[in-house]
Structure 1
Amino acid sequence: MNLKHLFYFWKTARSGGVVKAGEALHVTPQTISGQIRLLEDSLDTQLFARDGRALELTPAGRLAMEYADEMFSLSAELEQALRHYPKGRPVEFRVGVSDAVPKSIAYRLLRPAVDPADPVRIICREWRLDRLLTELAIHKLDLVIADSPIPPSVDVRAYNHRLGESGLSFVAARSLLGGQVPAFPACMGELPTLLPGEDSAIRRKFEDWLDRKRLRPRIVGEFDDTALMTAFGCAGVGAFVVPTAIELETLAAGDLIVLGRAEEVRIEYYAISVERRLTHPCVLAISDAAKSGLAAMGGGGVVGIQEGGPTGAT
């Protein structure tokens, strides 16, 4: 069996037709069709059922796709492993960070990849998760850091590697409270509130928590950037929520207090890669360091109050 013919078949099935496959591979549709025909002839098996211009996989074609997916996924893993095999020069590490991940969390997760004893050139991109996964699929990125696993709506063959998790802390400026010590969690239905961006897992978990508590706060702002939301929070515009793992550094940003915590609400963070088995040295360093937990990686992440009263920075 000619693997080049198989690759053209696989690309056509994944692209949805010979025209799109030809565009992706920079060859003519006639070339693609010819290669697939040669594959079918060599196997004496029809892989596509043709209905006019439309192509549909036959049962044999679906079976061939299962094997081809495995073969070309392993091929991509081999390429990545060999590309980053030590060659006496700095390793290039290309990572995408979902814009929904707080930058301080991203820093904690990525910091172990930078080892002065083993020079690494880190190239970091921040974007929407779906766009980053597209870049990952075509091997323009080695890794994607996200606050959720691969969405079911994204057709990318990749693997989720869970790195760590954190509870939620509810924070407000003292100036917003008017000298009063509010009761938690009821205060979250009374105070003006700042929300993370709609793509954030924190936003979804926070809204679910509000629904369970039957709280309806007045929303005064929405922010994709956690640092900008914190700046507005420090100015007393509204109360806001952050991962407990970065609670202490958030408190250090201004005259803020913790209204309460919900440790039962877990925000999870993932490394997403095309590798089923992690081989890139930088990714292995990140994975190994994450086993200690996000709090240990940054020195924060107080655990204590679970829906308790307010507390200040210590």
Structure 2
Amino acid sequence: MSQELNYKHLYYFWVTAKEGGMSHAAARLGMAVQTVSAQVRALEQSLGHALFKPAGRGLALTDAGLAALPLAEQIFQLGEQLHSTVRDAATHTQVRLAVGISDGLPKLAVRDLLAPALAEPHLRLLCHEDEFEDLLGDLALHRLDVVLSDRAAPPNPNLRLYSHALGSSPLGWYAPAQWVDQARDHFPRSLATVPVLLPSAHTAVRPRIDHWFERHGVAPRVVGEFEDSALLSTFGASGLGVFPAPDRMRETLTQRYGVVWFADVDGVLEHFFAIGTERKVQHPLVRRLLGQG
């Protein structure tokens, strides 16, 4: 490759392409828009071709930009791995895995989903919880190795992400001891009188639960909504109300939280996904999570 190529200029082009515009790239990089724009123009001048063109109020890649982007992807994918690979090779002690946890994913299921990677004896696990879209941006910039979520990544030709289904789990209804008998009596009509806790509308499973209520003709007595499933379970266990949760968490809920399973949320499933990037060199622990290693 030409020694005249400035990799800093290439990096700003790469981030701008990923973020879909100069202002978003500047925000991601913590720099002024003018600085990012100047760096990208310098790269275009050195290559002798425009990489972006106006598109409405934003930018789109030119044919030259479309050709440059996958090469930049490979360069910075490998670059992201350089420090950790060298350190791990030198120390022989740790294997770093950076995982993004979507805020809509049931937190009590995360350890179960990560179980194949947790078997690594020298694991250094970094978990970061955030909103789904922000995690996908960090994944595309290779700040994360994988994202665990309750939904697949939406199609986006600029991000080049893949979604791997990790399975699904039926939902069940759980109750603290003081509400079990009343919740079981004339179920599911009982959910119109006992206090009910639900995942917030931000989660992927909530529309399916709402449809379940509609199907059974029940207007639930909702007293709380939570984005964080661990908080939902904690408040439910404290006596605030009954709540739905994946059956794969039943043992944890009944033993750790002391709640009682009393009915199925028939026909409703919680789905689990691992989302990664299309890397030439795949992280070995991500491959293990996907059942490929």
Which interval holds the TM-score relative to the shorter structure?
0.7 to 0.9
Query: What does residue 68 of structure 1 align with?
Result: 68
Query: What does residue 125 of structure 1 align with?
Result: 128
Classify 1:111/1:278 alpha carbon distance in 2 versus 1 (closer, same or farther; 3 Å). Answer: farther
Take 2:257 and 2:19, find their aligned partners in 1: how far apart are those partners? 51
For normalisation by structure 2, the TM-score amounts to 0.77
Take 2:164 and 2:280, find their aligned partners in 1: how far apart are those partners? 10
Classify 1:234/1:155 alpha carbon distance in 2 versus 1 (closer, same or farther; 3 Å). Answer: farther
Q: Whose radius of gyration is greater, 1 or 2?
A: 1
Query: What does residue 100 of structure 2 align with?
Result: 96
Contact 1:166 1:263 (C-alpha < 8 Å) held by counterparts: no
Classify 1:226/1:177 alpha carbon distance in 2 versus 1 (closer, same or farther; 3 Å). Answer: same
Query: What does residue 212 of structure 1 align with?
Result: 215
Is 1:166 the counterpart of 2:169 in the alignment?
Answer: yes
Take 2:280 and 2:21, find their aligned partners in 1: how far apart are those partners? 31
Contact 1:164 1:268 (C-alpha < 8 Å) held by counterparts: yes
5+ residue gaps, structure 2:
none
Classify 1:223/1:34 alpha carbon distance in 2 versus 1 (closer, same or farther; 3 Å). Answer: closer
The alignment partner of 1:193 has SS state of strand
Query: What does residue 29 of structure 1 align with?
Result: 37
Contact 1:22 1:32 (C-alpha < 8 Å) held by counterparts: no
Query: What does residue 115 of structure 2 align with?
Result: 111
How many positions carry a matched residue from both structures?
281
Query: What does residue 144 of structure 2 align with?
Result: 141
Contact 2:51 2:63 (C-alpha < 8 Å) held by counterparts: no
Please give the per-residue CA displacement for 1:57-100, whole angstroms capped at 9, x wherever unaligned.
5xxx5444443343333344444566665612311111121232
Is 1:187 the counterpart of 2:195 in the alignment?
Answer: no
Classify 1:288/1:17 alpha carbon distance in 2 versus 1 (closer, same or farther; 3 Å). Answer: closer
Take 1:285 and 1:211, find their aligned partners in 2: how far apart are those partners? 40
Farther off after superposition, 166-175 or 274-283:
274-283
Contact 2:182 2:194 (C-alpha < 8 Å) held by counterparts: no
* Shift of residue 167, structure 1, vs aligned partner: 0.9
Contact 2:196 2:224 (C-alpha < 8 Å) held by counterparts: yes
Classify 1:63/1:249 alpha carbon distance in 2 versus 1 (closer, same or farther; 3 Å). Answer: same
Superposed, 1:241-256 pairs within 5 Å as 241-253=244-256, 256=259
Take 2:17 and 2:47, find their aligned partners in 1: how far apart are those partners? 14
2:220 maps to a residue whose letter is P
* Shift of residue 122, structure 1, vs aligned partner: 1.0
* Shift of residue 12, structure 1, vs aligned partner: 4.8
Contact 1:171 1:258 (C-alpha < 8 Å) held by counterparts: yes
Identity of aligned residues (%): 30
Please give the per-residue CA displacement for 1:208-254, whole angstroms capped at 9, x wherever unaligned.
22223232101111123323322332343221000011122212245
Take 2:142 and 2:175, find their aligned partners in 1: how far apart are those partners? 42
Classify 1:40/1:25 alpha carbon distance in 2 versus 1 (closer, same or farther; 3 Å). Answer: farther
Farther off after superposition, 22-31 or 204-213:
22-31
Take 1:227 and 1:22, find their aligned partners in 2: how far apart are those partners? 35
Classify 1:271/1:193 alpha carbon distance in 2 versus 1 (closer, same or farther; 3 Å). Answer: same
CA RMSD in angstroms, aligned pairs only: 3.7
5+ residue gaps, structure 1:
292-314
Take 1:257 and 1:287, find their aligned partners in 2: how far apart are those partners? 32
For normalisation by structure 1, the TM-score amounts to 0.72
Take 2:23 and 2:179, find their aligned partners in 1: how far apart are those partners? 60
Take 1:169 and 1:218, find their aligned partners in 2: how far apart are those partners? 17
Classify 1:252/1:280 alpha carbon distance in 2 versus 1 (closer, same or farther; 3 Å). Answer: same
Contact 1:94 1:143 (C-alpha < 8 Å) held by counterparts: yes
Is 1:39 the counterpart of 2:47 in the alignment?
Answer: yes
The alignment partner of 2:291 has SS state of helix
Take 2:125 and 2:271, find their aligned partners in 1: how far apart are those partners? 23
